[in-house]
Chains A and B, each alone.
Chain A
Amino acid sequence: MKPHEIEDPKLQELARKLGAQAAERLDVERMAQAVLAGLRQPARQRTWLVWTQVAWVRAAATVVLLVGIGVVVQPRSEPVRGAWEDPPAGAVQDLSADQLTRVLDELNQPVDVTVPASEDAGLEDLSEPQLRALLQSLEG
């Protein structure tokens, strides 16, 4: 026998003491009666309880599995394209030089913006007859 295979008496001594006092405190007679009482319970009831617990665990696991599959398999919805969405990067790259020039020319066209005049802003520019007409219209 190799030296490392020799059984260690100190270790065995410690192991023999493991739980010794806890075992001594066990009330053996009470335990015997408790076991008999447990055995008198219908086995079906105990089995049913265990089965019920197992069934719940299985049902929960099934639900989790189905939800997980649903998340994975669910088709990705198309994103809603907004009015100001940028064109795909490839669209600009695919244009020829002439097409790009036309696009740039269109973008460079002056924009005709009509800014509504503020009531106060243009009073100084009105002529006297225009001012009078304005006052009359305001006075009703």
Chain B
Amino acid sequence: MAQPQPVAAPTDAALIAAWQRGDEQAAAELVRRHARTLARFLAGAGAQEADLDDLVQDTFIRVFRSIARFRGDCQFRTWLLTIGGNVLKDAGRRAGRSKVIPLAEDFATTDGDPHAEAEAGEAADRLRDELGRLPRMQREVFLLRAQQGLDYGEIAAALGTTAGAARVHYHHAQRRLRESLT
């Protein structure tokens, strides 16, 4: 008796195509896949936790409404994150202030050592502060590379620049962030 073949999860491209045909569940599945990644990116880019749900929701709605403009030059996830960056920028402009999330708690449970926790918390604070001071391009390239693990070609395609320029932005950002941690 033949074993049933495991059903492969549909790719992002297949879900996008299904959504364009009017399949709402395809959109819901894309949200389930990428919402946490988006939230982490937004939080790293300076979003307050209290605003995170709204920012994630607004980003997905903007993405699905403008899905026809997605040409597939980069992964859907990368495109989603860059639009998230735009949504965050717009929200910050409306609020007229720079939004940051207290990150210390994210590092409080790294290990049981209170001294190590305190050091990690301080490092996180400094990293957060310095990230907030970076030019937007440097900040996004840094997060896409260091936090999301994307390669420079992918980052360049999403941000409309070259891989070489993305590499330069990354190293400028890294130098400043490293200085803030020493």
Check if A and B associate.
Answer: yes
Are A31 and B146 CB-contacts (below 8 A) given A14-B127, A19-B41, A26-B56? no
With beta carbons under 8 angstroms apart, the residue of B27, B35, B40, B178 that contacts A18 is B40
Cβ of A36 within 8 Å of any chain B Cβ, yes or no, is yes
Task: Name A1-33 residues within 8 Å CB distance of B.
Answer: 4-5, 7-8, 10-12, 14-26, 28-29, 31-33
Q: Contact size class for A?
A: 20 to 34
The A-B contact count (CB < 8 A) is 120
Task: Name the prevailing secondary structure of the A interface residues.
Answer: helix
Interface residues on B, range: 35 or more
Cβ contact of A35, chosen from B64, B127, B167, cutoff 8 A? B64
Our pick among A19, A20, A32, A36 for the contact of B42 (Cβ within 8 Å) is A19
Instruction: Write 30 A-B pairs (CB below 8 A) sorted by A numbering.
Output: A7-B146, A7-B170, A7-B174, A8-B174, A8-B178, A11-B127, A12-B146, A14-B124, A14-B181, A15-B147, A16-B146, A16-B147, A18-B40, A18-B103, A18-B143, A19-B39, A22-B40, A22-B52, A22-B106, A23-B52, A25-B49, A29-B32, A32-B35, A34-B53, A35-B28, A35-B64, A36-B24, A39-B24, A39-B65, A43-B65
- Could you tell me which B residues sit within 8 Å of A by CB distance? 24, 27-29, 31-32, 35-37, 39-44, 47, 49, 52-53, 56-57, 60-61, 64-65, 101, 103, 105-107, 110, 123-124, 127-128, 131, 142-143, 145-147, 167, 170-171, 174-175, 177-178, 181
